[in-house]
Amino acid sequence: MEPHRFEQDGVTFEVRFERTPEGWVARIRRDGDGATHLMAFPDRVGYAADDVRGSLIAGCEAAVARLGALAPTRH
């Protein structure tokens, strides 16, 4: 599936989708600092089967609105 780019509150994000045996994984990368958040969408839950891409995009954009500016973690 093609990546998706969107802007929210003046910040640009890129989402890359990966199909796994259990469902979909979305990697949401914030431009500027490169922070990445992972979201999982298990099969049969969390997205519409007739519009997978649209559902995944809507879920990622909604998640970003709730995530806000998180401080980076240190390992």
More confident: 11 or 67: 11
The DSSP string of 22-38 is TEEEEEEEETTT--EEE
Determine which of 11-20, 22-31, 40-49 has the lowest per-residue pLDDT on average. Answer: 40-49
Q: Is the pTM of this model over 0.75?
A: yes
* Rounded CA separation 53/56 (Å): 5
pLDDT winner (highest mean) among 31-40, 41-50, 64-73: 31-40
